[in-house]
Amino acid sequence: MRSKILGRADLILLFAALLMLGTGATALAQSTATLQGTVLDPQGGAVPDAKVTVRNAATGLERNAQSDSSGNFQVTALPVGTYRIEIRREGFQTLVVKEVKLEVDTTVSRNFELKVGQLSTPFHKYDDVFF
């Protein structure tokens, strides 16, 4: 009759499976980046409820966030690469930042200042920002 207690071979297989799961999670965490920022008005005041869209230029991957009551937002687990950032809020022109490069295992923080105007009037920042 076979014992219900795990045998030595079963324990080795279980340990190997757990080790592979842990290694995969570590590899994923090390190949991504985080973008965080604060959306501000021209006077430096917080802009809450701004829609932030982050799009990877190479893959088309798109992630969305919304600024909180302090104007802060965060987009985590972004694959490394170059991103286009678009920030929209009623009463302001849409801000488009063309190139933001995110590197492996980094957190990029930046302030984004919106100009007063209509959403349909975008303004672009072509400063090729690399972090």
Mean pLDDT of the chain: 84
CA geometry: angle 80, 85, 88, nearest 5 deg = 150
Distance CA 81, CA 11 (A): 40
* Domains of the chain with CATH codes: 32-130 (2.60.40.4130)
Q: Which two tokens stand for residue 107?
A: 């957190």
Pairwise CA distance, residues 109 & 130, whole Å: 12
pLDDT digits (tens, 9 = 90+) for 11-67: 566 666 666 665 555 445 469 999 999 999 999 999 999 999 999 999 999 999 999
Average of pLDDT values for 110-126?
Answer: 81
> Is the pLDDT assigned to residue 1 strictly greater than 60?
no
With 0.85 as the threshold, say if the pTM is over it.
no
